[in-house]
Amino acid sequence: MSNSQATDVELSIVIPIYNEELILESSVEELTANIAADPRLNSRTYELILSENGSSDNTVALAKSLQERFPQLRILHSDEPNYGLAMRRGIMEAHGEIVLCDEIDLCDTDFYARALEKIEGEGYDLIVGSKALDRSMDHRPAFRRLATRVLNGLFRVFLGFHGTDTHGLKAFRRQRLLDVIDRCVVDRDLFASEFVIRAERMNFRMTEIPVHIVEKRQPSIHLVRRVPNVLKNLGRLVWVIRVTNR
């Protein structure tokens, strides 16, 4: 995609990727095919940003090879395995007016269409695809569903968050939310959560919509290994937001 073409896109789909060689090609094929087949989306110009971070497998080479087949594909590369920094960089370098944050093992184009209706038709700034809403269908293992509820319970208690989910699918007007991105201080797993929590605290117009979650593979980083960093960043968030009022 040339620079002139890139600046004309309406939508930027941002997906962090890490060691995804097993599902990367099929996921990109499925995502682009579903957009092309959906009358709610197929008239839109878009870019697909794969924000790769620190992969040790063949992900980078495979992603670059896919660019030959999919001209709307952009690859960002970082040496450090860091989901939050990869997501942040993808958002900051996006060209679209509206950013859609997705996961490579989800690629939920139905969420895109429903979120765009809320943003463009109802005037919302930010849409969160909540796995915890009653109408959502979350097919992840029970312990991961419980972890989501525990973490969001901590956000409610310590940070006054009023929603039901912060991590996963999101859509927003990029220019409107850039100041929120600038204020975020944590990375890795809690960057996405801080982004949503700060947007609420800054009184942006936001809402949650139900999603259907069926993952294509196990998480690339085991849940238990993520806990120490999550707790560390949660403590930092509480200090920065509650104590220093930043």
Angstrom distance (rounded) from CA 63 to CA 9: 20
Query: How many residues are present in the chain?
Result: 246
Angstrom distance (rounded) from CA 69 to CA 226: 35
Q: What is the residue type of 171?
A: A
- Each residue's pLDDT, cut to its tens digit, for the chain (246 residues) gives 544 445 689 999 999 999 999 999 999 999 999 999 999 999 999 999 999 999 999 999 999 999 999 999 999 999 999 999 999 999 999 999 999 999 999 999 999 999 999 999 999 999 999 999 989 999 888 888 888 899 999 999 999 999 999 988 999 999 999 999 999 999 998 999 999 999 999 999 999 999 999 887 766 556 667 788 888 889 989 899 988 877
Q: Which CATH class is domain 11-244?
A: alpha beta
DSSP tag of 188: G
What is the sign, positive or negative, of the torsion defined by CA atoms of 65, 70, 71, 72? negative
Q: Where are the domains of the chain?
A: 11-244
User: Considering the entire predicted model, what is its pTM?
Assistant: 0.92
Which residues pair with residue 213 across a beta bridge?
138
Q: Are strands 11-17 and 98-101 parallel, antiparallel or unpaired?
A: parallel
